[in-house]
Amino acid sequence: MSAEPFRIPVNPEEAAWVRRRVEEYRFFEEPEGHRWEHGANRDYMQRLRAHWLESYDWEAAVARLNRFPHFRVEVEPGFRLHCLHRRSSRADARPLLIAHGWPGSIIEFESIVERLAEPEDANLPAFHVVAPSLPGYAWSDRPKSPIGPRAVAGLYERLMQALGYERFLYQGGDWGCVIGGWIGLDSAHVEAIHLNGYGLRGADMRVTSEAEKRWMAKASRLRATETGYLMLQGTKPQSLGFAMMDSPMGVAAWFAEKYCGWSDLDRKAVDPPFPMDTLLDTIMVYLSTRTFLSATWIYRGLYLEGGFSMPEGRRVEVPVGVAAFPHDLLAFPPRPMVERAYNVVHWTDMPRGGHFAGLEEPELLLADLRAFVAGLHGS
């Protein structure tokens, strides 16, 4: 399998089309007193549009991302995954695959990649960092039909082998934590996994304590109020695509509402807790590559594979580290429930943070990953 060096393109014609559509966008009414409880906030979207047209610089974002080495790697005949691949100069560096989710991209790891590869202290672990774009996302090839997270886990394993890594560590949140669960179950090459979300659930989800009962009730409330997108993308993604593939502002609103609702922020806040440039960088990754639709296919693939649960009688036996951020959409249940399905050897209850750990709390995520790896085998 081959790995070809790659530079992220600006795609100027697509960027120009996006700008025209944003300029032409017509706003509409919203309920009186609305913030985000009914969906995207009009005032924020108007300000985001103005910033997009007047200040945002997509070419600068591409140049910034191209400071890192990128590759497109053949993982199946005729099918390539894009990845950022930053090798460390350290002789003792360990291969690490770090995996994003939706609506995310490798941008989530931009602030920590260099420090993972070249830590500021020689006593800290160093890594050869591999950050792939999911199949159908960004600069990875699109599958011919929807594939789910278990299939992606197999592609990620082949990616690491194609890059020359027979053994590797894994870190993931959102889809990354679901894929990580499958890698932990199925891979003979992963040494340990670090998760910042509870994605792949154990088959045994019986409630056996008051703490588990409270977690289950909260999870049910979130499922009722925050997962309409999941049902739509998991059942009828093509219908959604007909609207979104022609509406950059629609994509922006779809993403902005998630970045607001799934983050750890003051409930009175009107804005997502990130600079507008950060949000627009992510939006433009999807728009400039025309991958909004193909990025939703993994949700359909999840349903076709059978959902979020492990097979009966299976358990992840490789060492597992948990970074439990309190306001994550995929917040962990109490540790005893998790340990029914995962060999948890490291657990940190974070003081703050939500779903987008690499953007919200990169220092906490970085420190916890380092601590987990340093503790493996007493190394």
pLDDT digits (tens, 9 = 90+) for 181-197: 999 999 999 999 999 99
The pLDDT score that the predictor gives to residue 267 is 59
Q: What residues have CB less than 8 Å from 186, skipping those under 6 apart?
A: 150, 153, 154, 157
Indicate left, alpha or beta for 324 from its phi (over 0: left) and psi (-120 to 50: alpha): beta
The predicted-structure confidence for 298-338, as pLDDT tens digits, reads as follows 999 999 999 999 999 999 999 999 999 999 999 999 999 99
Res 35: pLDDT:
86
Percent of the chain with pLDDT over 70: 98
Averaged over 60-66, what is the pLDDT?
98
What does the mean pLDDT of the chain come to? 95
Local confidence band at 2 (pLDDT 50, 70, 90 cut-offs): confident
Domain ranges of the chain: 3-378
Q: How far apart are CA 12 and CA 205, in angstroms?
A: 49
pLDDT of residue 136: 98
Average pLDDT over residues 119-133: 97
| Sequence-ordered strand ranges (E) for the chain | 3-6, 70-76, 79-86, 94-99, 127-132, 168-172, 190-195, 316-324, 342-349
- Provide mean pLDDT across the span 342-369: 97
Task: Provide the token pair at 208.
Answer: 């056996």
Residue 223's pLDDT is: 87
Q: What is the pLDDT of residue 256?
A: 96
Name, in order, each residue with C-beta under 8 angstroms of 293's C-beta and a sequence gap of 6 or more: 237, 238, 240, 241, 244, 245
- Give me the pLDDT at residue 378, please: 52
Per residue in 235-291, pLDDT (tens digit) is 999 999 999 999 999 999 999 999 998 998 875 667 888 899 999 999 999 999 999
CA dihedral sign, ordered 140, 143, 147, 150: negative
Please state which CATH number belongs to domain 3-378.
3.40.50.1820
Three-state DSSP at 361 gives coil
Taking the C-alpha atoms of residue 226 and residue 72, their distance in angstroms, rounded to an integer, is: 34
Q: Where are the beta strands (DSSP E) in 20-156?
A: 70-76, 79-86, 94-99, 127-132
Kindly tell me if the per-residue pLDDT of 170 is higher than 80: yes
Q: 10-59, pLDDT tens digit by residue?
A: 999 999 999 999 999 999 999 998 888 899 999 999 999 999 999 999 99
- What share of the chain has pLDDT > 90, as a percent? 92
Backbone angles phi, psi at 105, to 5 degrees: -170, 180
pLDDT for res 301: 97
In this predicted structure, what is the pLDDT of residue 271? Answer: 85
Q: Which residues contact 283 (CB under 8 A, 6 or more apart)?
A: 248, 251, 252, 255
Q: What's the rounded mean pLDDT across residues 98-118? A: 97
At residue 379, the pLDDT reads: 43
pTM over 0.85: yes
